[in-house]
Chain A
Amino acid sequence: DTGVSQDPRHKITKRGQNVTFRCDPISEHNRLYWYRQTLGQGPEFLTYFQNEAQLEKSRLLSDRFSAERPKGSFSTLEIQRTEQGDSAMYLCASSFRSGIADTQYFGPGTRLTVL
């Protein structure tokens, strides 16, 4: 079990540029989550997938954000026309949903800095 991986670990971009992050979940996990964490705060839920279906989006996920999970494996999170307020750590988590509840395992995160 190699754990959740994210790429890149760090990204510096200029305001107005588009960025894309990748998350590879633990193999056989059917759920994948994206969170955003700003300095001094806890992670905030953005969206999640069960297999390839995106089942929930937070109101934090503006129209500039889009996430995909083709074939129910890895996922990408794209931010278009980045703004300075998008600077944050973007965390991915995965879980295997069975029964009522599941346990989410987090990756190391991608730290985004928008200049």
Chain B
Amino acid sequence: AQSVTQPDIHITVSEGASLELRCNYSYGATPYLFWYVQSPGQGLQLLLKYFSGDTLVQGIKGFEAEFKRSQSSFNLRKPSVHWSDAAEYFCAVGPGRGGADGLTFGKGTHLIIQP
């Protein structure tokens, strides 16, 4: 079965510092990978996605992620965080086993920004 692991439940970063959120996946074929962000009480906003091609993908709000097949990872990075980046971040993989197209999400990483 496919799965996504986000090893860090909470991460605290100072404003202006760089950020890296980890994501590891288990999937039997070429994965489609996504990062979403969720503010409290809100739905999920797509930050970026990887389907194929260049393994370094750029997203919105200055985020980027790198797909590393050998490490089964899709880590999210940002060179300089802003207080408004404080939120919950979810990594997801799809499509599902047997053709089901629901995404499988990790449990999320809660990002705290220190002033």
Q: Which residues of A contact B (CB under 8 A)?
A: 4, 6, 31, 33, 35, 40-48, 55-56, 58, 91, 93, 97, 100-109, 111
Contact = CB atoms under 8 A, between A and B. Distances in A.
Contacts of A40: 107-108
Given A6-B43, A42-B90, 15 more contacts: A33-B102, A42-B4, A42-B105, A45-B96, A45-B100, A45-B103, A48-B101, A56-B99, A93-B44, A101-B51, A101-B95, A104-B34, A104-B46, A106-B46, A109-B42
Contacts of A93: 44
Given A40-B107, A101-B32, A108 B42 contact: yes
Contact of B90 (A43, A56, A101, A107): A43
22 contacts: A31-B101, A35-B102, A40-B107, A42-B92, A42-B107, A43-B90, A43-B105, A44-B105, A45-B102, A55-B101, A56-B99, A58-B100, A101-B32, A102-B101, A103-B49, A106-B36, A106-B44, A106-B45, A106-B46, A107-B43, A109-B42, A109-B43
Given A43-B90, A101-B32, A91 B43 contact: yes
Interface residues of B, number: 27
A42 B43 contact: no
Nearest to A110: B43
A40 B6 CA distance: 13
Contacts, number: 68
A69 to B, nearest CB: 15
A97 B41 CA distance: 28
Contacts of B106: 42
Contacts of B49: 103
Nearest to A99: B51
A109 B94 CA distance: 21
Contacts of B34: 103-104
Contact of A106 (B43, B96, B102, B108): B43
A44 B32 CA distance: 17
Interface string B27-39: 0000010101000
